[in-house]
Amino acid sequence: MKYLPISSNLFVKNRAKLAERMMPGSLAIFNANDILPSNADGTMAFRQNNDLFYLSGVDQEESILVLFPDSPVAKHREILFLKETNEEIAIWEGEKLTKETALTTSGITTVYWLQDFHKILRSIIYEAETIYLNDNEHLRAETTVQTRDDRFREWCKKEYPLHNYERIAPTMHDLRAVKEPEEIELMQTACNITAKAVNRALKFIKPGVMEYEIEAELMHEFLRNRSKGFAYTPIIASGFSACVLHYIENNQECKDGDVILMDIGAEYGNYASDLTRSIPVSGKFSPRQREVYESVLTVFKKAKAILRPGIVIGDYHARVGEFMTEELLKLGLLNQQDVDNQNHDWPAYKKYFMHGTSHYIGLDVHDVGNYYSPVEAGSVFTIEPGIYIREENLGIRLENDFLIGEHETIDLMAHIPLEADDIEAAMKH
C-alpha cells in the first residue's frame, strides 16, 4: 500500500463498537472483495470491502473476518482468516500479510489461514444463536455482479439452515457515519493531497490545454503524495460539459472564455475526499460568470451555517432549496410567477440545481449513513450547491468536505482557494 501504516487502535475501537451493538450469542462474518477480471489474464485494481477494512485494517484479497463476542473460547471472539503466503506468491505478487503482520495491522491475535475456515467455522458456529451476514445495502447501489458476500450468504444459509440470520449492514451504516479521530486524520490527509493537486492545476490551466492534461496534473500530484489516485472517476468539464452532471470523458480543449467545472478528490488510506471548483480558463471570470459564481458561493455559505447536529438532511435540503430560489430570482433565471406556480414535488429551482446539496463521505465517496435520522456530531458531509445554465454554456458548482462538530462545522478544505478573487489570484502565472 502507498499509504503509511494506520494504528490498529482504530480497528480495535471499531470492533468494540460493533460488538456492543450485536445481539447476545451472535456471530458476524465479513468477506473481502473479489479481484475482478478484465480481459485475457488481466485484472482490475483491487479495492477492499469497506466494512472489512473498517473493522480490521486488512487491505488484502481473500480475507475473512469473524466476530463472536460471546464465544466461550476467548481466542475465538475475533478471528481473521488470510490467504496463506509462500515463497512463490512472494516472487510473483509480492509479500502478503503474515500472521504476525496481520496482528500488527488489525490488533487481532487469532489468525488462521483461509484453508482452515470451514473447519474452524463449524467448530464455533453451533455455539451461536444468530449469524449476521453482510450485503451492499447502499441506496444508490446497482449490483449486477455477485460478490464474495453474495456467494457466502447462499452457502452459509444452505450449510446452516437452522440458525437465525440477521442483516449487519444497517448497524455498519450507523457506526461508519460517525468518524473516529483517526479517520478524520486520514480524511484530512486526503484533503491536503487534494489541495496540493488543485494548486498545481490552477497554475497549469490556460486556453488550449486539454481536459485530460489537467487530469494528468492532478493524478501526478496525488501519486507523489502517497495516494493511489482519484477517490472516484474525475470530472474535468469545460464549457457546456459543465452542465452534464456526470461528464467523465475529459477529452475536450479548454477554450478562452469558458469555465471548467472540476470535481475531483484524492483518496488516502481508502478514505475519500470530494471537491469541486469552477475555474475560468482565461484566469479571470466574466461579469456574468462571477455573478453566478457569487450566487453559488452564497448558497454554499448559508448551507454551511445550518448543517449542524440535530438537523435532518431532508429538512436541510428543503432550506437550501429556499436559499437557491432567492439567488435564481436575483440572477433572472426564475421569476416570481415560476415560484408561485411551482410543483412542490419538483420545485422551480430544480431546473438549474437538480441534485442534492450534501452527502456523507468517508470510506465511500457517497458514504453510508442514515439520511432520515438527525445529523450527529462526528459525521462528515460534503456541501456542493451548483447552478447549471445550459443556454449559457455555464455550469458552476462549489464543494468542500465538512466535519460536523458539536459547536461548529469544520471545513476540511478551508486551505483550498474558494473565493473568486482567490481563484483568479492563484491562476496568475
Residue 2 lies in a domain: no
Residues 6+ apart with CB under 8 A from 246: 235
Looking at the fold, whether 124 and 165 belong to one and the same domain comes out as yes
Contact 412, 195 (CB under 8 A): no
Residue 92 predicted with pLDDT over 80: no
The number of CA neighbours under 13 Å toward the Cβ of 357 is 28
CATH number of the domain that residue 194 is part of: 3.90.230.10
Residue 362 lies in a domain: yes
Q: How much is the pLDDT for 143?
A: 76
Strand extents, DSSP E, 194-274: 235-238, 259-264, 267-268, 271-272
Residue 343 lies in a domain: yes
Collapse the DSSP code of 237 into the 3-class scheme (helix H, G, I; strand E, B; otherwise coil) and give the result.
Answer: strand
Task: Identify the band that residue 429 occupies on the pLDDT scale cut at 50, 70 and 90.
Answer: low
Q: What angle do CA 269, 43, 154 make, to 5 degrees?
A: 85
Q: What is the mean pLDDT of the chain?
A: 96
CATH number of the domain that residue 39 is part of: 3.40.350.10
Residues 6+ apart with CB under 8 A from 401: 187, 191, 273, 274, 275, 361, 380, 381, 382, 411, 412, 413
Q: How much is the pLDDT for 144?
A: 80
pLDDT digits (tens, 9 = 90+) for 366-383: 999 999 999 999 999 999
**Residue 16, domain extent:** 8-177
Residue 139 predicted with pLDDT over 90: no
Q: What is the pTM of this model?
A: 0.95
Catalytic residue numbers read 41, 246, 263, 274, 355, 359, 366, 384, 388, 397, 399
Domains: count for the chain: 2
Looking at the fold, whether 212 and 227 belong to one and the same domain comes out as yes
Q: Per mean pLDDT, which range of 59-73, 140-154, 327-341, 344-358 is the poorest?
A: 140-154
Mean pLDDT value across residues 128-149: 89
Residues 6+ apart with CB under 8 A from 83: 60, 61, 62, 63, 96, 113, 114
